[in-house]
Amino acid sequence: MQDVISSAAFVAGRNLAAQGFTCKRSHLTETIAALLGYNTHAALVTEEADASLDYHGQDAELYIVNWPLALERAQAMGLPEQAADACYLAFKDAAGRPVFRDVADFWDSHAREQMEDSIAANVVTADMNAIFSDNPELEDGIERESVWEARETWTIESAGTWDGDFDWDGDRLFNGDKMDVSGRFFYAKAGRAGLIFQDSEEGGAPDDSWRDEPEDWT
């Protein structure tokens, strides 16, 4: 992990120098540590050396960085406003795995589609005489605990609807063409900002609200 941080700090410093800003490498290193959710670089080093932890930052499959903390750290050290962004971009290039700006970015760019695929693959629709050709549509993901504060595991969940098409030429009575669905992804923490996918849960039940609608089938 230290090699990645050092490389990112070097690249960020070089890019800032090209814009006319001279920044101490140590200040850029502190900003990258803040991106990774640590109050100091020393705290990051200490946690990375903790053999009692199952995973460390270097083991992560992906990262959700703490952008507000990085901005705060950069400003506290008197760095130019461009510094936090330069550190983020440099770390994103050096990390060698997906890096997301925040939980919303992670959800919209990555997890939403995966969860919709997972629900479509695992929720049973056999009891409904409707065809579900498209994937469900989920609402925004909800984290029950901040990704940077969760220590061992982190979850994100969502719910939505799955609309199907009813075969009106079939010989079965209409029994609904919509389902209420939900999903949850479980991750192990690898450092403060790193995640490793562990498991998923999917659920679904017929939406029977159509039974309360006026009966007009003509």
171 pLDDT higher than 70: no
pLDDT of residue 213: 61
pLDDT band at 210 (very low <50, low <70, confident <90, very high): low
Percent of the chain whose pLDDT exceeds 70: 89
Residue 43: which residues within 8 A CB-CB, separation 6 or more?
A: 33
Q: CA–CA separation, 183 vs 119, rounded Å?
A: 7
Q: CA–CA separation, 32 vs 179, rounded Å?
A: 44
Whole-structure pTM over 0.85, yes or no?
yes
pLDDT of residue 159: 96
pLDDT band at 175 (very low <50, low <70, confident <90, very high): low
Which is more confident, 74 or 123? 74
Exposure of 186 by Cβ count < 10 A (0-12 exposed, 13-18 middle, 19+ buried)? middle
Percent of the chain whose pLDDT exceeds 90: 74
Residue 69: which residues within 8 A CB-CB, separation 6 or more?
A: 34, 35, 37, 39, 148
204 pLDDT higher than 90: no
pLDDT of residue 133: 76
Residue 28 Rama label (left phi>0; alpha psi -120 to 50; beta): alpha
217 pLDDT higher than 60: no
pLDDT of residue 208: 72
pLDDT of residue 174: 62
